[in-house]
Structure 1
Amino acid sequence: MDQAPENDSDQPLVTYLKRLVTAMAIVMIAGFVVLIGTLVIRLNADPIPLPDRVTLPAGVSAVAFTQGTDWYAVVTDADTILIYDRGTGALTQTVGIDR
């Protein structure tokens, strides 16, 4: 007898809030799945060539390393830039640095 009567005017608002919370949960779960999928794809990709994987000519050592879409280059201590093909790993060009 001390209970207040239920207010039917709040029922549409409660239903709206339930749907909003459900939609937000679905969006968050989908975002988490996309994030995990992106990490899996990224971590399973072929590794980029790094300076320790590059075969340099005898007697030179790498000072700097840079890369493009289909090539990578190593600056050596002998003031030369060695440009390699990314697909084959073959030396394609040698550029001397004049001082």
Structure 2
Amino acid sequence: MAGKILPDGQEDGAEPPKIRQLRLLVNGLMLTLTVGFIIIVVAMLTRLNQVPAPVALPESVELPTGESARAVTMGSDWVALVTADADGQERIRVYDRMSGAPRGEIAIEGGN
């Protein structure tokens, strides 16, 4: 039950039990949210500060004379280079990722 109402409009003393429960619940949720946010920020900072492992690439890849590399992409055990010759004919050349040995070639139709 509510306490006496004082002349300035304030109540004296005790708050109703439901209001006390609500206040404790809101404070508990605020504390949980704050702790959770701090944990997420710390986890993100920890992950973002890790140095990624270097990518294993072949020492060198031999392109045919007159061709230049335009793009590179990597798979689990291969490296693909898009090359173009002096005439503008583009090809995708696939190489072994560890040794750099050629594995295949595909001509791209409609190249520049």
TM superposition score normalised by structure 1: 0.69
Q: Which among 82, 87, 96 is matched to residue 93 of structure 2? A: 82
1:60 corresponds in structure 2 to 67
Q: Would the alpha carbon gap of residues 18 and 89 (structure 1) be closer, same or farther in structure 2, given more than 3 Å must change?
A: farther
Aligned residue for 2:49, secondary structure, equals helix
Give CA deviations for 1:31-86 in whole Å, capped at 9, x if unaligned.
Answer: 11222222223xx1135579xx9644353211232222222200111344322333
1:62–1:76: 8 Å Cα contact kept in structure 2?
A: yes
Asked if residue 95 in structure 1 is aligned to residue 105 in structure 2, the reply is yes
Mind listing any 5+ residue stretches in structure 2 that lack a counterpart?
Answer: 1-5
TM-score (norm 2): 0.62
Aligned counterpart, 1:29: 38
CA shift for structure 1 position 11: 1.2
Q: 2:11 aligns with which of 4, 8, 25?
A: 4
1:18 is aligned to 27
RMSD (Å), alpha carbons: 2.9
More relative contact order, 1 or 2 (CA 8 Å, 6+ apart) = 2
Q: How many residues align?
A: 94
Structure number with larger C-alpha Rg: 2
Indicate how the Cα distance of structure 1 residues 69 and 21 shifts in structure 2: closer, same or farther if over 3 A, else same: same
Report percent identity of matched pairs: 24
Structure 1 unaligned regions, length at least 5:
none
